[in-house]
Structure 1
Amino acid sequence: MHVGRKFKFVEYVQWTRREIVLLAAWAAIPTAAYAVLGWKFLSVPPSIIAVLGTAVSFIIAFKNVECHRRASDALAIWSAIAARSMAWGNAVIGFVLASDQEETRRLHWVLFNQHFAWLTALRYQLREPKVWENLNEPGNKEYMAFYTIPERQMDLRQALAQYLPEATLDAVLRHHGDKANYLLSQQARMLSNSYRKKIIDTGPMYSSLQGVLNEIILLQGNAQRIKNYPYARNFYSIAIVLLRMFVILVPFALLEQFHGMGRYAGIEAWTVWATIPFSVMITWIFVTLEKVGENSSNPFEGGVNDVPISTLAHRIEVEMRGMLGDEGTARPAPAADAAIIL
């Protein structure tokens, strides 16, 4: 996620330079036909462009508001996941108490590692490419050279192997459904077994732990909703159609205007060529606004403005490890946890 003061104008130009070239090339065609071939009939009344531009403005503004809302919701969901993770860690430390200190610490590590594994499975799920996402567009690909996405550098097995014993890891990877949800179900089962064995002393303690786990399940569902269901394709499609119509017609509406500017000075053969830069400027504004909105509509795909779920997950893990007094250098190995999980 970009957390600097602002994007520079040069960065926008760099990001949209392909569009700028196409807009300039298109504007040059009717201008050359008007100025060189004398095709005066190509001129279109500016009132038509004014009406179409108003419609395009409304639809792009509506789209950008909705796309921004999706991005804001995604950030709020992951902020809530961070808060509920801290609540989960505190509840585990306070309510899951075995007969001796060493066993209690191991139980805590098992539950914490299960939570870290869930965070890992969820972020890998949220990073899966979707057909409607924009990361493979040329302008976005160029930004990928400046940063990396951890989920694309390491496969899921390697990532989960840091937290799960081999038997549990194999069970998770063999599961054909939602792996994050499967891990949450395993945590619920472990809580149930702990309550049955009196490791969790009272019903209210058990209910409190299950309550936090249920909140986490709801947050996962909300994140998956944003990931799996794009901004409405009908609104997206009509915005693109109207924008293209506008881009096509703008040069035709400016021809007569710039030609007339130089008529009284006898330089209309020169002023008409101003159609090209002014046409590019007007259409670039609309094209860039649409592109900014579209690139904000999928906040988990891994773009420069997406929710930094990899960093957030890492911070959650660091904070939760601190609850157990771990400095990040030592923890029970997954193989040592196998007896407790099974």
Structure 2
Amino acid sequence: MIVRDRPGLLPLFFIMRGSIIPRILPQILVIFVMSCFITWGHHERPGMILSVSGVPFAVLGTALSVFLSFRNNACYQRWWEARQSWGQLVYAARTFSRQTLLLEAIHGDEGRRMRRSLMELAIAMPQALVQHLRPNGDHGKVERVLPADLRPLYHAASNRPEMLMRLMSTDLARMRAGDKLTDIQYQMLDASVTQMAIVPAVCERIRNTPLPFAYTLLVHRTAYLFCFLMPFSSVDVLGWGTPFAAAVIAYTFFGLDALGDELENPFSKEANALPIAALADAIEHNLREALGETDLPPLPKPRDFVLM
């Protein structure tokens, strides 16, 4: 996610970090060069390169704008739902850390050990969820928290965040069976675990259910057709300004299309994706502080204006 102050007017046109331009620059250059050939051919060989009415392109451009707007709104809703889910995880983890204080208050040193065991799992789960949503990452942040006897179980699980939630529920069930918790206390703690467990399910639904491919294909094709054919409708009016106008239009339509692609997958490692790794680190910092630790990992900070 891009984290920076709003730039001034002049820097606004030269910012590349977080811009969609590097991704769509080849398409823009192709449209620009093609428009130059069309303009040159229209002036040098008017019988070969004809101009056409701009009315159909005005209608097509309006329809394409509506399609792109609808698609980008749908993609942003996915992005925002994912951010709300991670916000719920932050809230539930902090609530759980406060609720487990009753173990220390009731059972002293034994309760302190039970609380630490639960909190270690609560720290590991968000880190495991990051690796679940961004495969082929580093599991070191999870392994350094988990006890040695749980690491083989972690690596053997197909859904590692869910496995950690099951371990938390198992610990709570054992505490209840051993009369370490009353019914009310158990239900309170289990409700917080349930709130945390909802988040991986929501994130999996978002990741595994993309927008309908046929709709995405329709928008892609229409954007390319419009940008390829538009110079034929403006060459009579704009002359040698046609390539520049075509490049600006290509930047707008291809840029909106590419931005929608990035927002559609909010858990990717693109610059405009959600900073889920930073959120997991923030949760770990909060929970370790709640355990009374002083040697805390640093809070995440953006690098080159990007927070991942």
TM-score between both structures, scaled by the size of structure 1: 0.79
Moved over 6 A (4+): none
- Is 2:87 the counterpart of 1:102? no
Say if 1:180 and 1:193 are closer, same or farther in 2 by CA, change over 3 A: same
Measured in 1, the distance between the counterparts of 2:281 and 2:63 equals 44
Indicate if the aligned counterparts of 1:250 and 1:283 stay in contact, CA closer than 8 A.
no
Counterpart residue identity of residue 121, structure 2:
Q
Indicate if the aligned counterparts of 1:77 and 1:222 stay in contact, CA closer than 8 A.
yes
- Is 2:129 the counterpart of 1:122? yes
Say if 1:283 and 1:161 are closer, same or farther in 2 by CA, change over 3 A: closer
**What are the equivalent positions in structure 2 for 1:1-342 lying under 5 Å apart?**
1-6=1-6, 8-10=12-14, 11=16, 12=19, 14-15=21-22, 16-39=24-47, 42-95=50-103, 99=107, 101-128=108-135, 152=137, 155-156=138-139, 158-175=140-157, 177-200=158-181, 202-258=182-238, 272-328=239-295
Measured in 1, the distance between the counterparts of 2:245 and 2:127 equals 49
Deviations 1:64-120 (A, max 9, x none): 111111111111111111000011111222246664x32222211111111111111
Say if 1:98 and 1:172 are closer, same or farther in 2 by CA, change over 3 A: farther
SS in 2 for 1:325: coil
Indicate if the aligned counterparts of 1:30 and 1:42 stay in contact, CA closer than 8 A.
no
Structure 1 residue 20: Cα displacement: 2.3
Measured in 1, the distance between the counterparts of 2:206 and 2:20 equals 29
Structure 1 residue 122: Cα displacement: 0.6
Say if 1:25 and 1:47 are closer, same or farther in 2 by CA, change over 3 A: same
Deviations 1:271-313 (A, max 9, x none): x222211221222221112222222221111221221111111
Structure 1 residue 40: Cα displacement: 5.2
Deviations 1:158-186 (A, max 9, x none): 332211122211012112x2111011111
Count the aligned residue pairs.
289
The residue that corresponds to 2:306 in the other structure is none
Structure 1 residue 41: Cα displacement: 5.0
Counterpart residue identity of residue 257, structure 2:
E
Indicate if the aligned counterparts of 1:96 and 1:199 stay in contact, CA closer than 8 A.
no
Indicate if the aligned counterparts of 2:92 and 2:196 stay in contact, CA closer than 8 A.
yes
SS in 2 for 1:295: helix
Measured in 2, the distance between the counterparts of 1:26 and 1:109 equals 65
Indicate if the aligned counterparts of 2:42 and 2:235 stay in contact, CA closer than 8 A.
yes
RMSD: 2.0
Moved more, 210-219 or 184-193: 210-219
Indicate if the aligned counterparts of 1:92 and 1:209 stay in contact, CA closer than 8 A.
yes
Measured in 2, the distance between the counterparts of 1:192 and 1:167 equals 20
Structure 1: runs of 5+ lacking an equivalent: 129-150, 259-271, 331-342
Structure 2: runs of 5+ lacking an equivalent: 298-308
Say if 1:62 and 1:115 are closer, same or farther in 2 by CA, change over 3 A: same
Say if 1:13 and 1:310 are closer, same or farther in 2 by CA, change over 3 A: closer
Indicate if the aligned counterparts of 1:298 and 1:306 stay in contact, CA closer than 8 A.
yes
Indicate if the aligned counterparts of 1:71 and 1:296 stay in contact, CA closer than 8 A.
yes
Indicate if the aligned counterparts of 1:20 and 1:284 stay in contact, CA closer than 8 A.
yes
Percent of aligned pairs sharing the same letter:
22
Measured in 2, the distance between the counterparts of 1:273 and 1:185 equals 67
Deviations 1:117-155 (A, max 9, x none): 111111111113xxxxxxxxxxxxxxxxxxxxxx74xx2
Indicate if the aligned counterparts of 2:127 and 2:141 stay in contact, CA closer than 8 A.
yes
Indicate if the aligned counterparts of 1:318 and 1:328 stay in contact, CA closer than 8 A.
no
